[in-house]
Amino acid sequence: MDIGSGERKMSSLDPLDNEWDYKDCRLENNGVIPKTCGYNKTFRYKIKLPAHGVQGEYLDWCSQYCKGKFGWHFEPTNEQYDDYEPNTHWNDEQAVISFSKKKEAFLFSLYIK
């Protein structure tokens, strides 16, 4: 296995003692979400979340109900949401989930209310 290919190189039986790169934790590389979806993929219909991060249950909803593409990214903000943590770098960013299909964006906006 090549390091950097999204695959793990097992160096021992201890799961904490394995070499890996950032691609290993990308959901689209592990089959959790479609490869056409994921982090830093933006689409036409955007829903700004009232948070600095993206909850896993939101991604579960998208995986279950979306037939089109979806992705999430972060945009600058001065807001302080419930997940605000003092002295952390993500406090100046707001999470945004976007969709390729208008109907799916609308249904998601109802889900998070």
Read off the pLDDT of residues 9-29 as tens digits, 9 standing for 90 and up.
Answer: 444 555 555 554 545 556 665
- For the segment 38-51, the average pLDDT, to the nearest whole number, is 92
Q: Are 40 and 67 in a shared domain?
A: yes
Least confident of 30-39, 58-67, 98-107: 30-39
Q: Which amino acid is at 107?
A: L
Q: Are 104 and 83 in a shared domain?
A: yes
Q: Are 26 and 76 in a shared domain?
A: no
Predicted confidence (pLDDT) at residue 81 exceeds the cutoff of 60 = yes
Boundaries of domain holding 72: 33-111
Q: Are 72 and 23 in a shared domain?
A: no
Per-residue confidence band for 94, with pLDDT thresholds at 50, 70 and 90: confident
Q: Are 38 and 58 in a shared domain?
A: yes
The pLDDT, as a whole number, for residue 58 is 93
Q: Are 25 and 44 in a shared domain?
A: no
| Long-range pairs, 36-39, Cβ under 8 A, ≥24 | 36/69, 37/62, 37/66, 37/69, 37/70, 37/71, 38/71, 38/72, 39/71, 39/72, 39/73
Q: Are 6 and 42 in a shared domain?
A: no
- For the segment 64-86, the average pLDDT, to the nearest whole number, is 85
The pLDDT, as a whole number, for residue 14 is 52
Question: What is the separation of C-alpha 41 from the centre of its chain, rounded to a whole number of angstroms?
Answer: 9
- Tally of structural domains, the chain: 2
The pLDDT, as a whole number, for residue 91 is 77
What global pTM score does this model have? 0.70
